[in-house]
């Protein structure tokens, strides 16, 4: 998707403060943090939203967002956090590329 800001971050067309990267995922600091730690975790593959996943492969990519979050939580030694996925414009999704918010006051 050429006009997706997250796809542009994945393709290194837009700079970001990377926290984590592997073959299928990247994580970076949110530019408008809601808490002291506010990291966005996304699959490199463009999936518009969690509630409209169309294949079992895409569902597996979405499920692994939590595994990446777990790795980051342990690496940063976060004691408490909030994990949040917004699904659809009516429920706060602003960028239509599935992403998991990892937020903490630590």
Residue 83 pLDDT level (bands cut at 50, 70, 90): very high
Quick one: 43 exposed, middle or buried, by C-beta within 10 A (0-12, 13-18, 19+)? Answer: buried
Catalytic residue among 38, 91, 99, 101: 99
Residue 1 pLDDT level (bands cut at 50, 70, 90): low
| Average pLDDT, integer, range 81-99 | 96
Give residue 37's Cα distance to chain centre.
Answer: 13
User: Contact, 21 vs 27, CB < 8 A?
Assistant: yes
Closest CA to 20 of 84, 71, 88: 71
Measured in residues, the chain has a length of 106
Residue 99 designated active-site: yes
Number of Cβ within 10 Å of residue 57's Cβ equals: 11
pLDDT tens string 10-68? 999 999 999 999 999 999 999 999 999 999 999 999 999 999 999 999 999 999 999 99
Q: Considering the entire predicted model, what is its pTM? A: 0.95
Domains of the chain (ranges, CATH numbers)? 1-19+40-54+65-78+87-106 (3.30.428.10)
């Amino acid at each position: 998707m050429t006009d997706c800001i997250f796809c542009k971050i994945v393709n290194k067309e837009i700079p970001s403060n990377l926290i984590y990267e592997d073959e299928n995922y990247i994580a970076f600091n949110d530019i408008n943090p809601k808490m002291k730690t506010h990291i966005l975790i996304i699959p490199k593959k463009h999936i518009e939203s969690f509630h409209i996943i169309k294949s079992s492969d895409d569902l597996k990519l979405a499920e692994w967002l939590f595994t990446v979050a777990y790795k980051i939580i342990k690496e940063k030694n976060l004691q408490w956090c909030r994990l949040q996925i917004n699904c659809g414009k009516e429920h706060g999704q602003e960028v239509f590329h599935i992403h998991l918010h990892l937020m903490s006051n630590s």
